[in-house]
A and B are shown apart, each in its own frame.
Chain A
C-alpha cells in the first residue's frame, strides 16, 4: 500500500524533495559547509536518478497519464484551484535537463563559492523545486506559484554571492520579472473569472467566446510575462546585468533553465490558449526574435568581458528559440524544443567553463588573456567543443536545432517569413564571428606575459572533478547532434496536435488567419 501511495505521488516527491532537502541543509554551520555541499550534490543526483530511471523508459504516449497527479486544492472566492502536475511530451526533456544541470552545477562550482557555500547549495535546491514545479504544473494558478517561487532563490543567489553590482542586478532581475508576471496575474484572474477554472483547456474554451480585442489584450499580458523571462528584445536588459553579477552557478541555472521557462510558457500556454491572437501577433514575435538574434550577436561581438559576451549570445540564441515557436510550424516548434535543450547544455557549459577560468585567473577581461591553450590544453579542448556546438557546427547539437528553426521560419507562410529566415541565418554567421574571435584572442597566440594578466595566473589545467563535469556535457553535445530524434520523439505528437488545433477553423477568425497555407 505504501509503495502504491509513493508511486502515485512520485511527481510531487520529485518536485518538492530538492526544496525539503535544501531546507534540511540550511541549519548546517559554516564549518560543516563541505558536508552541506556533499549532501546537496548527493540529493540532487538522487533526484536526477529518480527522474531518469522513471521517465526514460516510458513511451511518449503514456507520459501524460502515468506521471500525473491531480486533486482539488482550494477554492478561494469561487474559482477552484486544482493541484495538477503532469509530465508530458512538452516538458519531459526540460525536466530531465533541469535535474541534470543542478548536480552538474553544484559539482562544477564546488570551490567557486567561498562564503557560506552551504546556504548557496540550499538555495540551488530550492530553486530546483521552483523550476521543476513550473515545468510540470498543468493548472495555471499552480504554474504561477512555482513561477514566482523561482524568483526569490535566484534573487538571493545573485544578491548575496554576486559581483560588485550585485544588489542592483538582483533587484533589477526581480522588478523586471515581476512587472510582467503581475500584469499577467491580472489577465489570469480575469480569464479565470470568465472560465470559472484555472485549467488551461477550460480557459481556452472561454477565450473563444471573448471579442478579439479582449483576446489580444489577454494574449499580450501572457506574452509580456513570458517575453521578459526569455528575454525577448527589447525586454532583455536585465539579463546581461544578472549574468555578469551572478555567481557561476547562478548563471548556469539562469541560462540553462530559467530562461527556458519563458519560451516554454509561450509554447504551453500563450499560443495554444489564444490561437487567434497568437496568429495575429506571431509575425511580430518573429520580427522581435530576429531582432534579438542580430542585436544580441552584434552586441556580443563588442564585449570585452567573456561572461558578458556569453550573456549576449544567450539573447541571440533565445531569439532563435522564439523564432521557431513563432513560426507555428511543426518543424520550427520541434526545432525550438531541441534548441531549448541545446542552449541549456551549451550555454550552461560555457558559463561553467568561464567560471573555471575566472576561478584561476580572477579576471574575465578578454584583453587579459592570450595563449591560454599553451597553459591549459584540456580546458581549451573542452572550450572549443562547446564553442563549436554553440555556433551550430554540423554534428553538434546546435546545428540540428537551428536548422529546424530556420527551416520552420522559411516555410512559416508569413508575409516576410523567408526574409526573416534569411536574416536569422545571418545570425548563425555572426555567432561564429563573435565566438571564434573571442576564442582567438583568449586561447590562441603567444601567452600573455604581462605580470598582472589573466594568463599569468593560470597554473594548472582542469582537475578530475572538472573533467567529470564536462564529459557528460560533451557526450550529450554529440549525441544530440548525431541523433536528435532521441530528444524530438517525445514532443512530436503533442506539438503536431497543438498546431493542428491552432489552425482549426473557429467562429472568430483572426485577421491573419487566412495567411496560413
Chain B
C-alpha cells in the first residue's frame, strides 16, 4: 500500500508523537538508567522534540490552509486546532513533569511514553467522525491516562485513584461502544455525517436515540460532567500535578471538540432532543461543581470540582449550538488551557508534593515568589471569569450566544454560578498575599531547602502571560483561530 503525500500529511502529526512514544521506552529499558542525569535529560528532550515537531507541522498545515484526510481520519481545521491544543498542553505538562518527578524522586521513562501515546489518542479523537475510529482513539487516550494516574505507584492513593479511573472509565467506554453499535444498527453506517443524514431523512428511531444517548455518556464522562464526575476529584488528587493538569485540560478539550463534531455534523435531528438534556446536565455541573469546590481545603480537589463546573459552562455552549457559540467554546478552551495548566503547574513550581496540598501551604509565598504568585493569581481571576482575563471572554461569548438564542435563564444561572466560584478562586491569592504565616511556619519554611523548579516556573509564567494576552485581544484570537476552525469545518458539512 502506498501513501499519497496528502494522506501522509494527514498522518504525520499523529506519527511524530507516536514515534517519540516508541523511542522512549528503548531509551530507558533498564529503569535504573533513569538515575543517570543525561539519560533523564535526553528522555525529556525526546518527548519535547516529538511534541514540538508535531506542533510545528500542524501550525504549518494551519498556515497553508490544507485540510488533508486519510480514510476516516480527517485532519481538518477543527482537528488541527485540537492537535495544537493538545500538543501545547502536553509540552507544558512535560516541562512541569521534569520538576515534579524530581521533587517526588520518581523519574521513569515510561511516564513520558505513556503521555505521548495519550497525546496521539487525543489528536485522533478530535480528528475523525467515524465511530469505530473514535472508539479506538478513546481507548488509546484513556488507557495511558489510567496508568499515568498511578505514576507514583508506591503511594496507595495513587494506585487507588488509577484503579478507580480505570474501572469507571471502562464502563463509560463500554457505553460508548454500545451506543456506536446501536447507531450502526439503526442507520447502517459508522460515519457520523452519514448517520446524521439518514436520521434526518426519516422519523427518529428509538434505537438510534438510545444509541446517541449512550454515545453521549462516553463523551460526558471524559468531560467530567455531573453525574458522570465522581471519579474526578480522586483521580486528580492521585495523579502527579502536571498529569492532573494535562487531564483536566486536554481530555476535557478533545472530548468537547469531538462532541462538538458529533453534535454539529451527526445528530442535528437527535440533537434537538438532546439539547434539553444537555442543558439539565450543564446546570447540575455548574451547581454541584461550584458548591462542592467551596467546601474543599485541598487545592487539587478544589481544581477538580472547578473543572466539573467549567465542563458545565462548555456544555452551555453546546446548548446554544450556534457557530458563534462553537467558536466561543474554542476560545474558552484556549483560555482554559492557559489558566488550568498555570493553576496545576504552580504546585510543581512551588515544590509542593504529596496527595493533599492545602491552601495553607501557599501562605505567604506571594511575597517570596512574586512572579509566580502574580501569574497564578491571574490564572485564578481568569478561572473566576473576571475581566480583562481570558476566562471572562470565554464565558462572555458563550453567555452572549445563550442570550441571543433566548436562554436568558441559563445565562443568569451561569453568572450566579461564576459568582459563587469567585469565592474559592480568590482563596488562592488570599493565601498567597494576605495570609501572614505564623512564626512557627516561618521557621519551618526557612529550614526547608529552597525550591528550584525552573521549567515548571516558566510554564506558569507563560500561562499567566497567555491569560492576559488572550484577554486583551480576544478579537484577534477569535478571528485567527476559533472562528476559522468552526466555519471551515462545522458549518460547511451537510
Asked if A76 and B396 make an inter-chain contact with CB atoms under 8 angstroms apart, the answer reads yes
Interface pair A174/B416, CB less than 8 Å apart: no
Partner among B327, B367, B386, B401 whose Cβ is within 8 Å of the Cβ of A152: B386
Name the distance in Å between A188's Cβ and chain B's nearest Cβ: 10
A148 CA / B381 CA spacing, docked (Å): 11
Q: Does A159 contact B (CB under 8 A)?
A: yes
> Do B399 and A186 have beta carbons less than 8 Å apart?
yes
A77–B475 CA distance with the chains assembled, in angstroms: 9
Cβ of B321 to closest chain A Cβ, rounded Å: 13
Partner of A189, one of B399, B418, B423: B399
Q: Report chain B residues within 8 Å CB of A116.
A: 367
Could you tell me the distance in whole angstroms from the C-beta of A373 to the nearest C-beta in chain B?
37
The answer to whether B411 and A189 touch across the interface, beta carbons within 8 angstroms, is yes
- CB contact list, A136-177 vs B, under 8 A: 144-145, 148-149, 151-152, 155-156, 159-160, 166-167, 170-171, 174-175
A221 CB, min distance to chain B CBs, angstroms: 9
A182 touches B419 (CB 8 A): yes
| Cβ contact within 8 Å between B423 and A171 | yes
User: Shortest distance in angstroms between B10's beta carbon and chain A's nearest beta carbon?
Assistant: 31
In the bound assembly, the distance between CA atoms of A189 and B324 in angstroms comes to 14
Q: In this assembly, does A437 line the interface, its C-beta being within 8 Å of a C-beta of chain B?
A: no
Q: Let me know if B419 and A178 touch, CB within 8 A.
A: yes
Which of B92-100, B270-278, B297-305, B429-437 lies at the interface with chain A? B429-437
Nearest neighbor of B476 in chain A, beta-carbon distance: A74
- Is B227's CB within 8 Å of the partner chain A? no
Contact B434 A159 (CB under 8 A): yes
- Asked whether any CB of chain A lies closer than 8 Å to the CB of B415, the reply is yes
Tell me, in angstroms, the Cα distance from A79 to B475 when the chains sit together. Answer: 11
Contact A76:B478 (CB < 8 A) given known A167-B434, A171-B426, A189-B400: yes
- Contact between chains at A148 and B400 (CB < 8 Å): no
B412 A183 Cβ-Cβ under 8 A:
yes
Give the contacts of B406-422 with A (CB-CB under 8 A): 408, 411-412, 415-416, 418-419, 422
Contact A76 B475 (CB under 8 A): yes
A376 within 8 A of B: no
Interface on chain A toward B: helix, strand, loop, or mixed SS? helix
Q: Which residues of A contact B408 (CB under 8 A)?
A: 186, 190
CA distance A326 to B430 in the complex (A): 38
**Inter-subunit contact B415/A182 (CB<8 Å):** yes
Look across to chain B and name the residue whose beta carbon is closest to the beta carbon of A182.
B415
A75 vs B430: C-alpha distance in the bound complex, in angstroms?
A: 35
Which residues 290-327 of B have a CB within 8 angstroms of A? Answer: 324, 327
Whether A160 touches B386, Cβ cut-off 8 Å, given contacts A76-B393, A77-B328, A175-B419, is no
A189 and B387 contacting across the interface, CB-CB below 8 Å = no
Chain B residues with CB under 8 Å of chain A are 324, 327-328, 367, 381, 386-388, 393, 396-397, 399-401, 403-404, 408, 411-412, 415-416, 418-419, 422-423, 426, 429-430, 433-435, 473-476, 478
Residues on A facing B (Cβ under 8 Å): 73-79, 116, 144-145, 148-149, 151-152, 155-156, 159-160, 166-167, 170-171, 174-175, 178-179, 182-183, 185-186, 189-190, 192-193
Please give 6 more A-B residue pairs, beta carbons under 8 A apart, in addition to A148-B388, A152-B386, A186-B403: A76-B396, A76-B478, A155-B426, A167-B435, A174-B426, A190-B403
List 16 A–B pairs whose Cβ atoms lie within 8 Å, in order of A's numbering.
A74-B476, A77-B328, A78-B404, A144-B387, A148-B386, A152-B381, A159-B429, A159-B433, A170-B430, A171-B423, A171-B426, A171-B430, A178-B422, A186-B411, A190-B408, A193-B403
